[in-house]
Structure 1
């Protein structure tokens, strides 16, 4: 039973790290520049998709970690 709690804790920590990477990837995929009063928006769609996939994976790992810790 102790090994399940250790695995659950590791999954929670990994999910937090992957979620952090995903949020950074999504936020860095879009840049705005103001030139002579005009606002130019450049975004990297594939970077945003990868970021959202990281966030989705983090949610799944977080749920698995919680389930593993609370399992009786």
Structure 2
């Protein structure tokens, strides 16, 4: 197994972890409660945006890992 394939597999596994962490960060920071027929949204937007950054990074890592696995080694 070549070095490119090992790095590609590592990037794919890393992207899964970063994506999971990002999605958890987004879901943890968005809650709403209902008080006297009014729905109040309690969101931490800065943490939510950071979660979206992690999800974007996971997509980039996944793309890089797939690229390294598909690339022909000459």
| TM-score band, normalised by shorter chain | over 0.9
Aligned to 1:3: 3
1:8-59 CA distance string (max 9 Å, x none): 0000000010000111111111111112222111111101110011011101
Q: TM-score normalised to the size of structure 2?
A: 0.91
Runs of 4+, deviation exceeding 2 Å: none
Q: TM-score normalised to the size of structure 1?
A: 0.93
In the alignment, structure 1 segments of 5+ residues that lack a partner are none
- What number of residue pairs does the alignment pair up? 72
Tell me the C-alpha RMSD between the 2 structures: 1.0
